[in-house]
Every structure is written in structure tokens, then in C-alpha cells.
Amino acid sequence: MNKTINLQELGRRDYKDIWDYQDVLFQSVVDTKIKNRREDANLETPNYFLFVEHPHVYTLGKSGDMSNLLISEAQLIEKGATFYKVNRGGDITYHGPGQIVGYPILDLENFFTDIHKYLRLLEEMIILTLEEYGLKAERSPGETGVWLDVGTPFARKICAMGVRASRWVTMHGFALNVNADLGYFDHMIPCGIKGKAVTSLNVELGKQTIDEAEVKAKLLTHFSALFEATFSEESVSAK
């Protein structure tokens, strides 16, 4: 089992470009697995972890409701935002500057074959990272992602998640609000859940900005421990 993960820092990139790039990596892993089974090739399957920041964009998952986007196409253009329907789970979400987006493309057969465990470990990575900043983050029953003050009138989401898996290979991932412009969340019903607020790490800590490189380092430390994995960094530019 290959537990080495190729880490790629992609900077700020258009959502569709990175979606296409994810798909290329995802399909290459799936193709290797198919070849192994058909030809008994015993080839090692790679794992990837992409860090990226997107320009303003709204995405709607397979089970999402279009009515959860509250602005028109003309208003999207006015706000410099784009919109895509995508093949991940979940409803609508927003990505934008000040948000750390992580896309693990893993062959779970290198780790464990349990998609629910995978999601719970992603959540745990976020919870442990936020704990380092003095925040008590939690899961909200029946709602994937990471929240603060669950079970109170002040419940607010700080990290959204949505994944796709096929043949135990994952794509898409998580979006952690670190220095996010929360005004963009007003133009949708986040994850289709009415009456729940959204927050960002800098808001919670009362700071103008948080060092995103520091947050990423903490995320990787916890991911590595939870998945018993090691990272190798690649300098790769997504096509």
C-alpha cells in the first residue's frame, strides 16, 4: 500500500481549470487500478493532495437545489463570480479568496475502504487544527463539515466538505474559511441549510488576517497523523 501523498500548491486558479485537473489525476489513478485488476500488473497507485485558492465561484453538487443560489446570472457577473454544477456530493457552496481549499485525490485502498471514515477524518483534521487556535469546533449531526457552537442559536459553519468517490478513489474535498469575505455567503443558502450562519477563522479570532501558510502546515500535520501518511512536495502547474 502506497501511503505517500504528492502535495501540490497550485496558488489561485480558476475553479473549472482545477476541476479538470482533478479529473485527469483521478482518472489516471482509476486507470491504474483497472489495469492492475485486468492484467495483474501490481502497479502502485499514486495519491495527491492539492492546495488551491479559487476566484469567487459558487458550485452546486449532484443533489443540490438550484433555488439555493439567491442571485441571477447578471448579478454573478456584477460580483465577479462564476457558477458551476459539479459531480461531488452536497448542495451549494462558495469558494473564494481567503479560503483554503484542499482536494485529496487518494486511492483509499492504500489506507482503508470506508468513505464515511474518510469524511470523518477530514473533519477531524479541521477540528484538531482549529483547536490549535483555541476554538472548539465540532461536527453537526447529519451535516457534513465543521461547525462552531453546535446545538445553539449561534451555530455557524467554518468548513464545508463535499467529495466524490469511485473505485475507492476520491476527488473534491474541503474548503476552510480562514480570511474569507463572508458577504459572498449572503447570496446563497449555504449547503442548502437554512438559518445557519457561516464564519471565518480571522473573524473568530478577531484578527484582520491569519497566516494561511501556517494553517496549511497544521492541516498537513494532522492529515499525516490521521491517515498515517507522508507527503512529498511536487512543483506542478495544473494544465
Amino acid at 113: T
Query: pLDDT above 90 covers what percent of the chain?
Result: 74
Mean predicted lDDT score pLDDT of the chain: 92
* Residue 173 assigned ligand-binding role: yes
The CATH architecture of the domain made up of 4-227 is 2-Layer Sandwich (3.30)
Residue 44 to residues 17, 35, 115, Cα–Cα distance (Å): 27, 11, 21
pLDDT at 61: 83
Which of 49-53, 107-111, 148-152, 187-191 shows the lowest per-residue confidence on average (mean pLDDT)? 187-191
* Residue 54 assigned ligand-binding role: no
Where does the pLDDT of residue 111 fall: very low under 50, low under 70, confident under 90, or very high at 90 and above?
very high
| Residue 144: its H or E element | strand 143-148
* Residue 197 assigned ligand-binding role: no
159 is catalytic: no
pLDDT at 93: 85
**List 5, 178, 191, 215, catalytic entry:** 191
* Cβ 180 vs Cβ 200: under 8 Å: yes
* Residue 96 assigned ligand-binding role: no
| Residue 138: its H or E element | strand 137-140
pLDDT at 114: 97
pLDDT at 173: 95
Is the pLDDT at 100 greater than 90, yes or no? yes
Residue 96, judged by CB atoms within 10 A of its CB (0-12, 13-18, 19+), counts as buried
User: How many CB atoms within 10 Å of residue 224?
Assistant: 16
Nearest to 221 by CA among 117, 146, 128: 128
pLDDT at 237: 47
Cα angle, residue 40 at apex, residues 36 and 43 outer, rounded to 5°: 45
Residue 215 to residues 19, 151, 228, Cα–Cα distance (Å): 23, 26, 20
Euclidean distance between CA atoms 121 and 143, whole angstroms: 15
Euclidean distance between CA atoms 126 and 122, whole angstroms: 7
Domain ranges of the chain: 4-227
User: How many CB atoms within 10 Å of residue 143?
Assistant: 17
